Amino acid sequence: PAMGVISEILPVFSKKPIFGYKAIAYSSVAIALISFLVWAHHMFVSGISETAATIFSFLTFLVAIPTAIK
């Protein structure tokens, strides 16, 4: 939410459009979708399989890409 608020308020007070607004909007959606898939990284101690832990670890790292764009 904070990144979205900054993306909307900053151009209002600077009176300039944000460069790459579409990229910011798409990365917000990507963050939401990927974040929904990484919930299991909180469950490493619950006894999930090593394969599942590896997949969820990869997805956790994957969420960093749209976060860096934003």
Question: pLDDT digit string (tens) for 42-58?
Answer: 776 677 888 888 888 88
- Residue ranges covered by each domain of the chain: 2-69
**pLDDT band for position 65 (50/70/90)?**
confident
12 CB-contact burial (10 Å; exposed 0-12 / middle 13-18 / buried 19+): exposed
**pLDDT band for position 23 (50/70/90)?**
confident
Q: What is the pLDDT of residue 44?
A: 63
8 Å CB contact between 35 and 63:
yes
Q: What is the pLDDT of residue 57?
A: 82
Q: How far apart are CA 14 and CA 6, in angstroms?
A: 12
